[in-house]
Structure formats: structure tokens, C-alpha cells
């Protein structure tokens, strides 16, 4: 069997020949890749030359490239276009990769060389970037068990292997419950209140399943419109409860035991390494620095947001009782009532906006904005392969006309694709190598009569993920380990969240917000309403995000292993951010993929943390002009291109001229004046 994963790809830009790669290629390739990498590491370790940055740290940066590339392909496919075969291969690959990481991190001879360099670095005359890499590698080894004895190292290996597999299973369970549910409607009266495009999408979904009528699923573009517009309360309840039972059903996909075990393993691992909790272990390498600082940050925001949220809730409850005949709101009413109230107060109907946001024009708009800010040019290349027919591939060129990156875009939900939106990388950036970046979303599909028309929330989602992509595409460092999004986790959301600001500015909106039928630019009255809507129910929105932050931290602080019942624990933690009672059948923790499958454990607070940074940073653009060349150049040079080459606060101050002011976020949110 000829295995394409055993060597470099002989393709333009070393792009991935997806059609040549089969699931059965991955395990043999990874085993061979790992064997070769370990032999190369032995060459570094066994050399007789005295340890230096060049012959050890720099040499290590070029080892394992095929492992990184092939594992990225596998895990990205598992998220975006999975199948039973890919899931099985991923479960087999996970322990192999974990073992390899441990074989490297627990290699005492290798660590001895790195430690020697670390303790004598003043003799090397290192650049700032090299110093950062050395410190990161030294700490990486220390925090992954290099200072442990052999027995403790073996325990660590077992923990890491089990932890990795449990994270994969958690995500597979959420996906299985998501795809197992569908709401099949045969009576058109049950569609009352739903926009025509939503009904058309549901009819096409039914048709694709060989069913008559309309089918709604738990994929966001199907779930959210039904919860927002359906006047059938019973159907809203059915959808809501199904969504909130993912991973909590009494079936083979229940995640409660997995959560308890992950909490236990993370705490055990932290204690083994000398930390009081998983949060303490994680936060040592974050801008926030400590569990106490995160708690203070969240609590301060809570004290500002709760009074506003309480007033907003009372307004909504009063409106529901008076205008919608809902004497008592339930959780399946919230999105519906909120939309009705927004329409009444702001005279803004989301459906009136959608015709101005056809996906094709929004994407062209974000490309144009990137061109104005950073001189990038995007050219679609149909000769380059995607991993699915819906995927498009773009060559990205810089202002000099040089090739700078590949960008894959994947915008619509389908079977085998997890919910949500994310940016990922297939190939990192380093000296002499440009990156391959991917944006994956789940937007409203086109129908037979209309193109894909985005909600405004979907517009901001695209800008958000594109901000992450810019962080990857504009990376310009020497070492891949410090490139692009390889930054402190509570800094990684700054480039993504700051991009959302352009969605609210007239000068930017006029570039892409055009009616899909008439090409009319979005009217000024709508722009005013969009800006007003940015303040709508910000207290409640902030409270919701803080709730996730509190919940995340509670699963990873020093008391985490006291938790015995996931549902009871979640109820207790979230009680202070909710105005409704609890529902025994529902649990959000069991589908909280960010922290139990993704990389946000003890880090969910970083969304709000980065909002402070982005609000303060965008103030500079507002002062000077949202397309000001000097400001955008500074943001590119000091933030986007630098990755993790220096401490993020150093980079931020170099751009902004001062530390971030938390008041900027509160003012932007309308929580203070």
C-alpha cells in the first residue's frame, strides 16, 4: 500500500492531497513517523558536543514535522468530516501520540541538555525570541514530568493516555446525541412564526432524509431559528430539552462518569507535578497568572453585570406576561421572548437584516477588510483539494505579492461535523515555511430559492474566526512553537474578538452589507439599529458567559474532586447567574466540549479577559480611524505577527502604549457610562 503520509507532499505549497489519504494510512504512518522522530532525538541527545541552543533547542524544532502534520490532518478531519472509521483511527492514534509526547518530555538525557542551556543562557547571547523558546521548552519539560522519578513518570504516562482518550470519547458522545435527535413536522400549522428561508431549509433537510414535511435538528442553523421564532411553545420545549440532554441521556453516550474521571485525572496530574489544582497548573502560564486572580476578575464583572441583568430579566418577564401571554417564562421561551422584545424596543427584526448578509458578500467583505488593514489578497484556487466538496481553498498573498498562506473555508453543517465554529491549522509557520489555516463554521445553508443568508450573529462569528485565521496567516516568527496562536491562552482571543468590532462600523459594513437581490447597501437606519443592538441585554449576555467561567473553574480548582454529582454541582454553581429554576432532565456540563474535549480547561474566563483587551485595543482604532494604516501596521507588527515570542503584556503595551483598561469593556457593553 502506497502511503502518502510517509513523506512530504509533492503538491503546490505542500497542500494536502485529501483524496489520496484513507483512514487506514494514519496508524502505519504515525508509527513510522514516531520511530523516525525518536531516532532523530537520539542523535541530538547522544552527540558529544556541549549543549547549545543551536545543537539542541533549534535542532529539536525540526524533529517530528510529519507527526505534527499527519496528526493535525487526522484530528481536524475527526472534527469536520468524521466517520466511524476516522473515529476508530483517532482512538488508536491518541495513545500513540500521547506516548510519543511523554517519551520526549520524560527523556532525562534530553532534559539534562536543555537544563544545562537554561542555567547557562547568559553565555549564549540569545535573542528575545530564543530566550522565550528556551524558557517555554524548559518549563514544558518540567510541567510534563521531567523532574519526577521513574515511578512517578510511569503514573504520568498512564494519566495522560487515559485523559486523551476520555476527551475524544466525550466529543464523540456529544456528536452522537446531537445527530440522534430530529424534530419531524408534518403539519404546516406547527411552523407558525418561522421565516420562509428557515422553513425551506427544514423542508430540504426532510427531503435529504427521504421524509415528507419538515425536519429540524440540533445543528445551530436549524436549532437557533426554531428557538428564536417558533410560536409553538411545545416544539420549542422539545428542542430545548433535547439540546440540553446531550451527553446526559440514559444511554451509552452519557458523559457524567467521563467528567468525574477527567476531573480526578487532571487533579491527580497537577498534584503529581507539585500544584494544588489543575487550575493552578494551567494558570501559571497565563496572563491571569493565578486561580485567585481569575476569581477576582470574574467576580468584579459579576458585580457590575448582575444588577443590569436583573433589570433586563424583569423587563423581559413583564413583556412576556403582557404581550405574549406567558405568565411564567421557561428556558425554552427565553430566546423567543428576547427576540420579540428586541423587535419591540429597537424596531429591529433579524430577518430584515439577513438579506443584506449573503455569505458570499460577507466573505468578500472580510477579505477586503483584511486587504485594507494588512495588505492581504485572497485568490480561490479550485485546483487545490479540500477534504469535502463544500470546502474552498484560497491562496493568500501579502502586500508585496508573495505567497503567504493557504486558507481553507468550510461553512455549512453536515453529518459527521461537530457543532460550533473554530479556526485550526494544518501546517504551522516558521522560518522558511508559510502556514495552512482553516476556518470551520456551521452557517445557514443556501436553499433552492435563496443563497446562504447570515444572521448578524453568524456575521460576527465569521469575523471572529477570521481574526484567529489572521493570527495564523500573518505569523512571522522563526520557530513554529512560538508562531501564530501559540500564545498564552487568555491572549489568544484578542485577534479574534477585535475583528468583530468591524461588523458594527458604517465604513466597514458598507463594503459588504448589500442586499442579495438588489445590491442595495444596508440602510443607515439598520446600521444605527445594529449598533444599538450591541447593548441589548448585555447584562444577561455577560452573566451567561460568567456562568460558564465560574463552572469551568469549579471543575478545576482545589475542591474539584469533592464533586460527586455533576448535575447537583452545576445547579449550585449556576444558581447565582440564573433567574429560572432547574430542570432535572438537562445539564450543560455534559456537552461543555470547550473544557472537556478542547483546550479551555481552567481557561473559559479568557473570553471575557480578551474582551477587555479587544475593547481597549479597538478604542485606538476608533480614535485614529478603523482603517488607519499606522494603527493596523502596529497591530500586525506587535500582535499578529509576533505570536508568543514575548510576554503578551509586553506586546500589548508596545501596541497600545499602556496597560488595558477594563472600563473600556464595561462602557462598550453599556454596563457603565
CA-based torsion, 112, 113, 116, 122: positive or negative: negative
Q: What CATH number matches the domain at 4-147, 1.10.1740.10, 1.20.1050.40, 1.10.10.10, 1.20.1730.10?
A: 1.20.1050.40
DSSP state at residue 433:
B
With a cut of 80, say whether residue 487 has pLDDT above it.
yes
Q: What is the mean pLDDT of residues 625-635?
A: 98
With cut-offs at 50, 70 and 90, classify the pLDDT of residue 298.
very high
Q: Check 339, 465, 505, 636 and give the catalytic one.
A: 465
The predicted-structure confidence for 448-483, as pLDDT tens digits, reads as follows: 999 999 999 999 999 999 999 999 999 999 999 999
pLDDT at 1: 60
Any idea what the Cα angle at residue 314 is, between residues 313 and 319, rounded to 5°?
100
With a cut of 80, say whether residue 156 has pLDDT above it.
yes
Please name which of 407, 512, 397, 514 lies closest in space to residue 465, comparing C-alpha atoms.
407
DSSP state at residue 331:
G
* H helices, E strands: number in the chain: 27, 7
Q: Say how many C-beta atoms besides its own lie within 10 A of residue 498's C-beta.
A: 24
CA-based torsion, 555, 561, 563, 566: positive or negative: positive
With a cut of 70, say whether residue 500 has pLDDT above it.
yes
Catalytic residue at 525?
A: no
Fold type of domain 355-534: 1.10.1370
Q: Where are the beta strands (DSSP E) in 234-342?
A: none
d(CA 634, CA 629): 9
- The reply to whether domains 4-147 and 355-534 share a CATH topology is no
Averaged pLDDT score across all residues of the chain: 95
Please name which of 471, 403, 424, 464 lies closest in space to residue 636, comparing C-alpha atoms.
471
Please name which of 79, 201, 158, 161 lies closest in space to residue 446, comparing C-alpha atoms.
201
How far is residue 450 from each of residues 285, 300, 609, measured CA to CA in Å? 48, 46, 39
With a cut of 80, say whether residue 244 has pLDDT above it.
yes
Any idea what the Cα angle at residue 561 is, between residues 594 and 590, rounded to 5°?
35
Contact predicate 318/326, CB 8 Å: no
With a cut of 80, say whether residue 673 has pLDDT above it.
no
Query: Residue 64: left if φ>0, alpha if ψ -120 to 50, beta else—which one?
Result: left
Domain boundaries of the chain, sorted by first residue? 4-147, 181-244, 355-534
With cut-offs at 50, 70 and 90, classify the pLDDT of residue 668.
confident
Query: Residue 657: left if φ>0, alpha if ψ -120 to 50, beta else—which one?
Result: left
Query: Residue 235: left if φ>0, alpha if ψ -120 to 50, beta else—which one?
Result: alpha
26 beta partners: none
With cut-offs at 50, 70 and 90, classify the pLDDT of residue 339.
very high
With cut-offs at 50, 70 and 90, classify the pLDDT of residue 44.
very high
pLDDT over 90 percentage in the chain: 94
pLDDT at 93: 97
Q: What is the mean pLDDT of residues 265-278?
A: 97
Amino acid at each position: 500500500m502506497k502511503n502518502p503520509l510517509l513523506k512530504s507532499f509533492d503538491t503546490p505549497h505542500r497542500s494536502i492531497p485529501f483524496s489520496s489519504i484513507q483512514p487506514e494510512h494514519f496508524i502505519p504512518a504515525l508509527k513510522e513517523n514516531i520511530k523516525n522522530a525518536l531516532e532523530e532525538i537520539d542523535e541530538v541527545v547522544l552527540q558529544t558536543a556541549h549543549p547549545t541552543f543551536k545543537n539542541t533547542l533549534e535542532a529539536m524544532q525540526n524533529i517530528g514535522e510529519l507527526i505534527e502534520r499527519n496528526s493535525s490532518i487526522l484530528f481536524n478531519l475527526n472534527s469536520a468530516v468524521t466517520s466511524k472509521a476516522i473515529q476508530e483511527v483517532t482512538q488508536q492514534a491518541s495513545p500513540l501520540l500521547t506516548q510519543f509526547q511523554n517519551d520526549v518530555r520524560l527523556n532525562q538525557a534530553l532534559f539534562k541538555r536543555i537544563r544545562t542551556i537554561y542555567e547557562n543562557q547568559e553565555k549564549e547571547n540569545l535573542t528575545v525570541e530564543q530566550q522565550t523558546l528556551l524558557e517555554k521548552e524548559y518549563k514544558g519539560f518540567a510541567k510534563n514530568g521531567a523532574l519526577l522519578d521513574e515511578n512517578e513518570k510511569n503514573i504520568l504516562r498512564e494519566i495522560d493516555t487515559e485523559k486523551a482518550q476520555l476527551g475524544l470519547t466525550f466529543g464523540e458522545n456529544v456528536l452522537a446525541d446531537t445527530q440522534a435527535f430530529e424534530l419531524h413536522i408534518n403539519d404546516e400549522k406547527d411552523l407558525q412564526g418561522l421565516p420562509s428561508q428557515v422553513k425551506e431549509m427544514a423542508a430540504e433537510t426532510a427531503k435529504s432524509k427521504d421524509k415528507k414535511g419538515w425536519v429540524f435538528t440540533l445543528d445551530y442553523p436549524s436549532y437557533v431559528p426554531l428557538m428564536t421564532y417558533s410560536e409553538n411553545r411545545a416544539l420549542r420545549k422539545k428542542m430545548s430539552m433535547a439540546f440540553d440532554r446531550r451527553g446526559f441521556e440514559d444511554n451509552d453516550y452519557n458523559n457524567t462518569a467521563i467528567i468525574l474521571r477527567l476531573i480526578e485525572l487532571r487533579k491527580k496530574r497537577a498534584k503529581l507535578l507539585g500544584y494544588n489544582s489543575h487550575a493552578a497548573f494551567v494558570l501559571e502560564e497565563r496572563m491571569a497568572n493565578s486561580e485567585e486572580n481569575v476569581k477576582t476578575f470574574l467576580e468584579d464583572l459579576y458585580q457590575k453585570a448582575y444588577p443590569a441583568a436583573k433589570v433586563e430579566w424583569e423587563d423581559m418577564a413583564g413583556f412576556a406576561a403582557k404581550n405574549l401571554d406567558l405568565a411564567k417564562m421557561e428556558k425554552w421561551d427565553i430566546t423567543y421572548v428576547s427576540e420579540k422584545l428586541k423587535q419591540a424596543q429597537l424596531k429591529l427584526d433579524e430577518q430584515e437584516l439577513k438579506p443584506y448578509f449573503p455569505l458570499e458578500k460577507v466573505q468578500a467583505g472580510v477579505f477586503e477588510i483584511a486587504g485594507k488593514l494588512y495588505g492581504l489578497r485572497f485568490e480561490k484556487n479550485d485546483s487545490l483539494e479540500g477534504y469535502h466538496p463544500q470546502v474552498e481553498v484560497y491562496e493568500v498573498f501579502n502586500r508585496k505579492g508573495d505567497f503567504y498562506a493557504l486558507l481553507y473555508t468550510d461553512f455549512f453543517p453536515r453529518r459527521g461535523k461537530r457543532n460550533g465554529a473554530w479556526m485550526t491549522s494544518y501546517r504551522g509557520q516558521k522560518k522558511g515555511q508559510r502556514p495552512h489555516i482553516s476556518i470551520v463554521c456551521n452557517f445557514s445553508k443556501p436553499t433552492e430559492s435563496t443563497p446562504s443568508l447570515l444572521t448578524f450573529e453568524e456575521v460576527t462569528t465569521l469575523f471572529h474566526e477570521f481574526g484567529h485565521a489572521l493570527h495564523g496567516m500573518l505569523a512571522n516568527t522563526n520557530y513554529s512553537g512560538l508562531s501564530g496562536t501559540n500564545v498564552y491562552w487568555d491572549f489568544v482571543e484578542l485577534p479574534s474578538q477585535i475583528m468583530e468590532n468591524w461588523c458594527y462600523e458604517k465604513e466597514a459594513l458598507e463594503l459588504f452589507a448589500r442586499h442579495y437581490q438588489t445590491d442595495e447597501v444596508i440602510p443607515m437606519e439598520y446600521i444605527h439599529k445594529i449598533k444599538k443592538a450591541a447593548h441589548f441585554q448585555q447584562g444577561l449576555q455577560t452573566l451567561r458567559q460568567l456562568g460558564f467561567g465560574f463552572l469551568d473553574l469549579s471543575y478545576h480548582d482545589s475542591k474539584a474532586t469533592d464533586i460527586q454529582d455533576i448535575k447537583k454541582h452545576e445547579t449550585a454553581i449556576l444558581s447565582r447567574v440564573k433567574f429560572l429554576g432547574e430542570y432535572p432532565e438537562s445539564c450543560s456540563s455534559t456537552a461543555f466540549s470547550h473544557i472537556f474535549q478542547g483546550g479551555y480547561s481552567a481557561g473559559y474566563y479568557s473570553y471575557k479577559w480578551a474582551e477587555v483587551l479587544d475593547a481597549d485595543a479597538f478604542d485606538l482604532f476608533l480614535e485614529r480611524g478603523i482603517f488607519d494604516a499606522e494603527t493596523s501596521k502596529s497591530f500586525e507588527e506587535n500582535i499578529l505577527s509576533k505570536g508568543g515570542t514575548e510576554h503578551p503584556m509586553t506586546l500589548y503595551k508596545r501596541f497600545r502604549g499602556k496597560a488595558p483598561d477594563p472600563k473600556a469593556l464595561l462602557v462598550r457593553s453599556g454596563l457603565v457610562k
